[in-house]
Structure 1
């Protein structure tokens, strides 16, 4: 007999790795990862691969720094994962992220690669302020990867369990 309880939806939140400041005349959209950012992106991708993390779908901001962050993840974890680049993840508020997540709840797992403050706001929304602040007291750092299991909810806010938190500068929790 199968368990009739609804399964959790696994949401992975990856903030882009460290990027340099915009050069004179350069758009924010075109900012690239700096040397530290490239190393962070490689490290977080390797940590995810070592743990067997493989989302069903990756949705990534179209900004250069997000595309550069997801490339080692895609290459290291699995080149069979579909990546969709979504303009709204660059320009939209946290509510756009929430709408995109809700539209993909039919999947088992989803990786969002985006920007602060939206990633930090989502983390707080799903975890609750106290738990989010306990986990990341200084905010959501570059190249951090949080893995959340969201329970089905009839309300406007899902309840999440933090499965893992990977930071490129120290061991994952």
Structure 2
């Protein structure tokens, strides 16, 4: 029986886990995960590790809640994961995310982006098509969820081609 060939490019889209409400005088940027968020980040990291899902590179928003979500991956998968913190992922729109994703070195075959909604969901809708994304996440992209999308061609010049959802990890509903 032939084995499935590896995708040309794999994109992991991880929405930060559930965060606490902003405290009086606190900046949105500094919001931390709440207790549920910490637990959910660990659950998704464990599920990803159990399925052998490991990116070559993680690009993470510098916001506290994203960094804390990514920390669960580092603890679960390996502290030697290559992770880079990018300010533009905090407030950047879909075009910023597309440019960052498509500008990565060709040696990076599996890229994870840890970011924010609504942009994470918008990118998912762009790379799956509206119908496929609606099937995958009919109620929206839950906090702490991870989509794994495989591509037959690499993103380039700010353009993300259509891909195939190969895994969906949701801390509330486990994986599909």
| Mean Cα deviation higher: 150-159 or 73-82 | 150-159
Q: Which residue of 2 aligns with 1:146?
A: 147
What is the CA–CA distance in structure 2 between the aligned matches of 1:6 and 1:147, rounded to whole Å? 13
Contact 2:98/2:160 (8 A) holds in 1: no
Please report the TM-score for the alignment, with normalisation by the length of structure 1.
0.93
Pairing 1:161–2:164 present: yes
Please report the TM-score for the alignment, with normalisation by the length of structure 2.
0.91
Contact 1:6/1:152 (8 A) holds in 2: no
Q: Which residue of 2 aligns with 1:51?
A: 51
What is the CA–CA distance in structure 1 between the aligned matches of 2:71 and 2:17, rounded to whole Å? 11
What is the CA–CA distance in structure 2 between the aligned matches of 1:72 and 1:17, rounded to whole Å? 10
Q: Which residue of 1 aligns with 2:116?
A: 115
What is the CA–CA distance in structure 1 between the aligned matches of 2:129 and 2:102, rounded to whole Å? 18
What is the CA–CA distance in structure 2 between the aligned matches of 1:100 and 1:157, rounded to whole Å? 11
How far residue 170 of structure 1 moved from its aligned partner, in angstroms, is: 1.8
Pairing 1:77–2:107 present: no
Q: Which residue of 2 aligns with 1:172?
A: 175
Q: Which residue of 2 aligns with 1:101?
A: 101
Contact 1:14/1:143 (8 A) holds in 2: yes
Matched residue pairs, number? Answer: 169
Change beyond 3 A, Cα 1:127–1:52? same
> What root-mean-square deviation, in Å, do the aligned CA atoms of Structure 1 and Structure 2 show?
1.8
How far residue 80 of structure 1 moved from its aligned partner, in angstroms, is: 1.6
Structure 2: tracts of 5 or more residues without a match: none
Deviation digits for residues 84-141 of structure 1 (CA, Å, limit 9, x no counterpart): 0000000111110000000116111000000000000000000000000011001111
Change beyond 3 A, Cα 1:78–1:6? closer
Q: Which residue of 1 aligns with 2:138?
A: 137
What is the CA–CA distance in structure 2 between the aligned matches of 1:27 and 1:79, rounded to whole Å? 29
How far residue 77 of structure 1 moved from its aligned partner, in angstroms, is: 1.1
Contact 2:12/2:112 (8 A) holds in 1: yes
Structure 1: tracts of 5 or more residues without a match: none
